[in-house]
């Protein structure tokens, strides 16, 4: 199935700015579907021909859907397409006089044009099942009245609002709680869920037909929306409860008729978010302390190395310092990322910089560079992989270029859908054919082989490279 953007661009022939307008509408039209108890179909005329295409479909949460099948990407049924074409031509709302029975149930249709820069670029078809109609309650009458006003705003080009970006994941829906305000901020209707939300905040008196300033804990933001004609989203917290509010001004001809206020209690959601933030901060602090402790151990080993008389012992301690530094680098990265994911590209570059700055030959005989990308890795994969990479680069620098020979080392990172491949290639003296890193190698390669097979569950191959030198290749499976 094509995305909304692809359908609008390829089959509707619409420019990017018009597509963004329709995407903004499709991101916020759930409100209209719920208020009108209707399915919404975003209809566009194909660039070639007169066929009307369904580009997006929204079902209501407040009523049974009219179209259980997915209609996106299909032509609109003929009778409904005629109403849409009339809305295209008139540039105004068009209602079908007689119900449409082509789907087996009576459907009442209203076509709402969507203008952009002086022309209609799409039409929203509001389709409600008339077989479900009964004596409407005050809630349903208020919903339908507000739905008609929102439809008029769409046709006038004033909804959705420009530059409004509500918190989509937790934005209140109509069923969460709805209050209808008049232009002066007086409550004309409050749904039971809206009343319950205010009760959680400590407002126990009746809110109907009262000024919002008389009972709301933050009326300034609501009055700002009414006076300025711009939507406002805010949170109110009291008595341990948190309520998210979204105020949508209802406009007609540049005049504010009133406002639709949607409310959602998000107490538990915010509590969990605070717990997660506290947990993330604690985990980052732990990684920071582990990094500091590892650096302290490395410093102690450096001091001890300077006191040793034999070069072999000093070199052994320096090797340990390097390995500890590689592990500390991963913990440093984790201490800076609240998501507990390691951007391994940065780790690889830092490891190479450490080699070039302190462990490689200071006169620059050998160059080391990193290519490709590994993306983000879990700590359980990043820590042993950083140590393996350190061992492979150190081995290439130490054994690939004996004496005064110079050359280059290339670290190649390649992330596939199921595995991560890390290659360290040098153009040094090379290794003999049939080289086995598990048995024929020095201690560093043996450590790398053990980490790859036991910690990473992968494979390590060390072989002569094409054109001379050595190629060490690590293939580690990625968790799903």
Q: Are 53 and 81 in contact (CB under 8 A)?
A: no
pLDDT, residue 421, reads 94
Residue 28 has pLDDT above 50, yes or no: yes
Q: Which residue has the higher pLDDT, 270 or 27?
A: 27
Residue 269 has pLDDT above 60, yes or no: yes
H-run or E-run covering 463: strand 459-464
Cis peptide before 160 (omega within 30 of 0): yes
DSSP single-letter state for residue 8: I
pLDDT, residue 168, reads 65
pLDDT, residue 404, reads 60
Q: What share of the chain is helix, strand, coil (3-state, %, to 5)?
A: 40, 25, 30
pLDDT, residue 314, reads 78
Determine which of 201-215, 286-300, 365-379 has the lowest per-residue pLDDT on average: 286-300
- Residue range 379-390: average pLDDT? 85
Q: Which residues contact 322 (CB under 8 A, 6 or more apart)?
A: 359, 390, 394
What tokens appear for 235 in the block?
């949170």
pLDDT, residue 171, reads 84
Residue 461 has pLDDT above 80, yes or no: yes
Q: Give CA torsion, residues 222, 223, 224, 227, to 10 deg.
A: 130
Residue 360 has pLDDT above 60, yes or no: no
For 270-304, the pLDDT digits (tens) are 787 777 766 766 777 776 777 777 778 878 787 78
User: What band does 363 get if pLDDT is binned at 50, 70 and 90?
Assistant: very low
User: What band does 466 get if pLDDT is binned at 50, 70 and 90?
Assistant: confident
Residue 255 has pLDDT above 60, yes or no: yes
What is the rounded average pLDDT for all residues in the chain?
85
Domain annotation for the chain: domains and CATH numbers = 4-134 (3.30.450.280), 174-265 (3.30.450.20), 364-375+386-480 (3.30.565.10)
52 forms bridges with which residues in the sheet? 45
Widest pairwise Cα distance in the chain: 101
Q: What stretches of 96-210 show up as alpha helix (H) in DSSP?
A: 138-156, 192-200
Determine which of 53-67, 178-192, 421-435 has the lowest per-residue pLDDT on average: 421-435
Determine which of 259-273, 276-290, 317-331 has the lowest per-residue pLDDT on average: 276-290
pLDDT, residue 334, reads 67
pLDDT, residue 79, reads 86
pLDDT, residue 359, reads 47
What tokens appear for 196 in the block?
């319950």
Residue 51 has pLDDT above 70, yes or no: yes
Nearest-CA neighbor of 262 among 176, 382, 330?
Answer: 176
In three-state form (DSSP H/G/I as H, E/B as E, the rest C), the secondary structure along 277-307 is HHHHHHHHHHHHHHHHHHHHHHHHHHHHHHH
For 85-140, the pLDDT digits (tens) are 999 999 999 987 777 777 777 889 999 999 999 999 999 999 998 876 666 789 99
Residue 310 has pLDDT above 90, yes or no: no
- Residue range 310-338: average pLDDT? 75
Q: Which residue has the higher pLDDT, 359 or 13?
A: 13
Percent of the chain with pLDDT over 70: 92
Residue 1 has pLDDT above 50, yes or no: no
């Amino acid at each position: 199935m094509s995305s909304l953007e692809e359908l609008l661009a390829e089959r509707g022939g619409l420019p990017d700015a018009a597509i963004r307008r329709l995407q903004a509408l499709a991101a916020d039209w759930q409100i209209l579907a719920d208020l009108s108890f209707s399915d919404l179909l975003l209809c566009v005329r194909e660039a070639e021909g007169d066929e009307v295409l369904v580009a997006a479909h929204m079902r209501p949460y407040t009523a049974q859907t009219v179209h259980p099948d997915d209609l996106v990407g299909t032509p609109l049924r003929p009778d409904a397409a005629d109403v849409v074409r009339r809305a295209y031509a008139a540039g105004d709302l068009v209602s079908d006089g007689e119900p449409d029975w082509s789907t087996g149930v009576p459907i009442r249709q209203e076509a709402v044009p969507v203008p952009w820069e002086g022309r209609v670029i799409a039409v929203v078809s509001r389709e409600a099942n008339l077989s479900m109609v009964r004596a409407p309650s005050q809630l349903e009458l208020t919903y339908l009245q507000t739905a008609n006003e929102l439809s008029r705003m769409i046709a006038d080009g004033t909804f959705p609002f420009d530059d409004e970006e509500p918190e989509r994941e937790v934005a209140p829906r109509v069923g969460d709680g709805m209050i209808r305000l008049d232009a002066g901020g007086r409550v004309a209707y409050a749904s039971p869920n809206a009343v319950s939300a205010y009760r959680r905040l400590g407002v126990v008196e009746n809110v109907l037909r009262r000024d919002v300033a008389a009972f709301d804990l933050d009326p300034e933001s609501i009055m700002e929306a009414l006076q300025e004609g711009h939507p406002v989203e805010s949170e109110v917290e009291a008595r341990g409860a948190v309520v998210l509010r979204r105020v949508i001004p209802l406009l007609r001809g540049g005049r504010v008729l009133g406002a639709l206020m949607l409310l959602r209690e998000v107490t538990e959601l915010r509590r969990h978010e605070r717990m997660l933030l506290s947990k993330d901060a604690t985990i980052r602090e732990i990684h920071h302390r582990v990094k500091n402790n590892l650096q302290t151990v490395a410093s102690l080993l450096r001091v001890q190395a300077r006191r040793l008389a034999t070069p072999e012992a000093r070199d052994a301690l320096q090797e340990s310092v390097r390995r500890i530094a590689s592990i500390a680098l991963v913990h440093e990265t984790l201490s800076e990322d609240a998501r507990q994911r390691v951007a391994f590209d940065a780790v690889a570059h830092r490891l190479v910089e450490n080699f070039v700055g302190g462990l490689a030959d200071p006169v620059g005989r050998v160059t080391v560079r990193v290519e490709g990308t590994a993306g983000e890795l879990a700590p359980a994969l990043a820590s042993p992989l950083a140590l393996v990479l350190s061992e492979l680069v150190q081995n290439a620098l130490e054994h690939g270029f004996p004496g005064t020979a110079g050359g280059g080392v290339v670290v190649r990172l390649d992330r596939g859908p199921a595995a991560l491949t890390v290659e360290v290639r040098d153009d040094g003296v090379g290794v003999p054919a049939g080289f086995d890193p598990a048995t024929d190698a020095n201690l560093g390669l043996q450590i790398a082989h053990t980490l790859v097979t036991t910690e990473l569950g992968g494979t390590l191959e060390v072989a002569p490279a094409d054109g001379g030198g050595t190629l060490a290749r690590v293939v580690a499976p990625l968790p799903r």
